[in-house]
Structure 1
Amino acid sequence: MNIKVVRGNPTPEELAAALAVVRARAAAAAATPPGAEGPRDAWSDPARIAAARVPNPGPASWTRTYWPG
Structure 2
Amino acid sequence: MTSREPYLSIVRGDATPEETAALVAALAARTAAQTAAGDSRPPAPRTRPGNWRNPAHRLRVGLPHGPGAWRGAVFPGG
Structure 2-normalised TM-score? Answer: 0.40
Higher alpha-carbon Rg? 2
